[in-house]
Structure 1
Amino acid sequence: MFNKRIEESSGNRLALVVKNNPSSVLTEQFRTIQTNIRFSMVNKRLQTMVVTSATPSSGKSTISANLAATFASKNKRVLLVDADLRKPTVHKTFNVRNNDGLTTLLTDDDTKVVDVIYHTHTEGLYILTSGIIPPNPAELLASDRMLEIQEEMKTYFDLIIFDSPPVLPVTDSQVLAAETDGVIFVIPKGRVKTDEVLKAKELLEMTQANILGAIMNRVETSGDHYYYYYGDKE
């Protein structure tokens, strides 16, 4: 169905730890995060999710990719979408071209989702790169066409994860958060101020976003880095 396929040797081995080191502490933490997300949506269907942060350089893109790989399985189809139309990274993580992608779908009504999606070598995991960086990212993400694309994606995938820009610099994530089932907030320990986190949370809540919880990353223990998941929204 999806014509593009990533070769087995492609991809950033360091970034996709759950695939390349399945027995690591990091991988186990991602499994815990997956379980907690499922419990937080026990009475609701979670089909679209945004991963964002308050400020840049928080590690959200690495977390997005690993979450997507963790949720993917033989019985689940997961699509990781690079919705950061300003500083995209998914194509770098998976070592693919970024000639076309989400912006292609947003600007060309004749292009279909199946035309631009890559099937990765991880079972059940698919990716959609950002495509060419546009001059008006927020406007494109807020368009009716974006809603149409999401509906088309839902016909093929059980879960769609949007890797989106940080909240404070631009409005893109607020736009996406208002149109999706849940939001995961990434907080890098020691690299973001408390008032920045609270301000970003306030901006998301203004859009009626369903904040599922937060992941604190870059927490060190026994010489390793791992992630805590906080399911409490408050």
Structure 2
Amino acid sequence: MSDVKDLSDDRTAEPAEVAPSDTKKSLGRLLVQMGRMSSRDVDRVLQKQMEDNCSFGEAAVALRLVTQRDIMEALARQYQYPTLQGMERRDGMSRELVVGHEPFGAAAEEFRAIRTSLLHSHVSEGLRSLAVVGVHEGAGATYFASNLALSMAQMTLPTILVESNLRSPRIAEMWNMPRRSRGLSEVLRHHDGDPSAVITEVVPNLSVLLCGAEPPNPQELLCSPEFAQLTQWLESRYRVVIYDTAPAKEFADARVVGAVVGSAIVVARRNRSRTRDTTEIVERLETVGCNVAGTIFNSH
């Protein structure tokens, strides 16, 4: 993976790295099931398709029966590509979840590119855990961690997103989840690995472990033997474990998490994060034995 990745590219992308599970489930049938067109509309599209020698989607858009967005949503369903389309809580989910809301847009494609690099340089070597470390408050660590986790799940890799930011947690708000009474802080405080604290199948292949109650002693909890044991327990059950962490300039928590899980990505804010601060965070992580897989300059 290159050391620097820019998330401001404006290219568009097609569905990638997935295969259809049922080729008999036609695009027309899916659009009817989605309420985007009627059976009579499908007949019109098929006629147009034969006349113009084009794809079903091109014919449907040309007849103005559906939009290109409708076609892409139907393709995602046809390929069993997890998105936020059609989910009950979707309207309350943050638009920051670009991989789910706009799965074929420019930002989602950037996350797929980063995912591919990590799969080759990180996951393929047997490494399962990755801490996402924001240089400072507002750098975009939660945005990056959430979208990276969702992109991993889209590859059908069993993935869990762990909210180890016990200072200013945002994942519940971003994903439109109720704040749970049990989360990471309770698991660590009560010295148990109770799996009921994990929210499973938020989307296919993606689980979440929220912060829980914000504790008065977050760094002490993360330094505990229970946290190290929990990381091992999670690695035994998930192919990819992504940790959202507290901002590194303000708190030392991210270094603690990085030292335990062994690998990290540093997220800096373009035109806001200072180069000196970013370099210092990378050096601090490396000092505690954490391999920094790359630095992301976030323009979101």
Same fold (TM > 0.5): yes
Tell me how far apart the structure 2 counterparts of residues 15 and 119 of structure 1 sit (CA, whole Å): 21
- Aligned partner of 1:103 in structure 2 is 185
Residue in 1 that maps onto 2:286:
205
Question: Which residue in the other structure is 2:196 paired with?
Answer: 115
Query: What is the match of residue 104 of structure 2?
Result: 23
Give yes or no for contact 1:68–1:161 (8 Å, CA) kept in 2: yes
Which stretch of the first structure deviates more once superposed, 62-71 or 114-123?
A: 114-123
- Alpha-carbon spacing, 1:53–1:106, altered in 2? closer, same or farther (3 Å): same
CA distance in 2, matches of 1:72, 1:42: 13
DSSP-derived class of the 1:156 partner: coil
Aligned twin of 1:64: 145
Evaluate the alpha carbon distance shift between residue 138 and residue 55 of structure 1 in structure 2; reply closer, same or farther with a 3 A threshold: same
* Identity value in percent: 27
Residue deviations 1:112-163 (CA, integer Å, cap 9, x gap): 1x21111244210111100101111111001001111112212221111000
Q: Is the 8 A contact 1:104 1:111 kept in 2?
A: no
Cα offsets for 1:44-74 (capped at 9, x unmatched):
2121100012111011101100000000147
Aligned to 2:11: none
Matched, 1:8 2:87: yes
3-state SS of the aligned residue for 1:71?
A: helix
Question: Tell me, what secondary structure is at the counterpart of 2:260?
Answer: coil
Q: Is the 8 A contact 1:83 1:165 kept in 2?
A: yes
SS in 2 for 1:127: strand
Letter of the 1:106 counterpart: L
1:153 is the counterpart of 2:238: no
Deviation at 1:13, TM superposition (A): 4.1
1:24 is matched by which residue type in structure 2? G
Distance change (3 Å), C-alpha of 1:88 and 1:177: same
Q: In the superposition, relative to structure 1, how do residues 104 and 26 fare at CA in structure 2: closer, same or farther (>3 Å)?
A: same
Partners of 1:93 and 1:127 lie apart in 2 by 12
The CA deviation at 1:43 is 6.1
Superposition pairs of residues 38-187 of structure 1, within 5 angstroms: 38-41=119-122, 44-73=125-154, 75-98=156-179, 99-110=181-192, 112=194, 114-187=195-268
More strand by share: 1
Q: How far apart, in 2, do the equivalents of 1:148 and 1:110 lie?
A: 10
Greater relative contact order (CA < 8 Å, ≥ 6 in sequence): 1
1:188 and 2:279 aligned: no
Q: CA deviation at 1:97?
A: 2.3
RMSD: 1.7
Q: 1:102 is matched by which residue type in structure 2?
A: L
**How far does the alpha carbon of each residue in 1:164-204 deviate from its partner, in whole angstroms, 9 at most, with x for none?**
01212111010111111410111111111111111111211
Please state which structure has a larger fraction of its residues in helix: 2
When normalised by structure 2's length, the TM-score is 0.67
Distance 1:67 1:130 in 2: 18
**2:262/2:289 contact within 8 Å kept:** no
Q: What is the rounded CA distance, in whole Å, between the counterparts of 1:151 and 1:41 in structure 2? A: 17
TM-score where L is the length of structure 1: 0.85
Aligned residue type for 2:87: E
Contact preservation (8 Å) 2:231, 2:261 = no
Runs (5+) with no aligned partner, structure 2 = 1-85
Runs (4 or more) in structure 1 with deviation over 3 Å come to none
C-alpha contact (below 8 Å) 2:222/2:256 kept by paired residues:
yes
CA distance, structure 2, for counterparts of residue 151 and residue 162 of structure 1: 13
SS at match of 1:126: strand
CA distance 1:13–1:55, change in 2 (3 Å): closer
| Separation of aligned partners in 2, 1:20 and 1:43 | 28
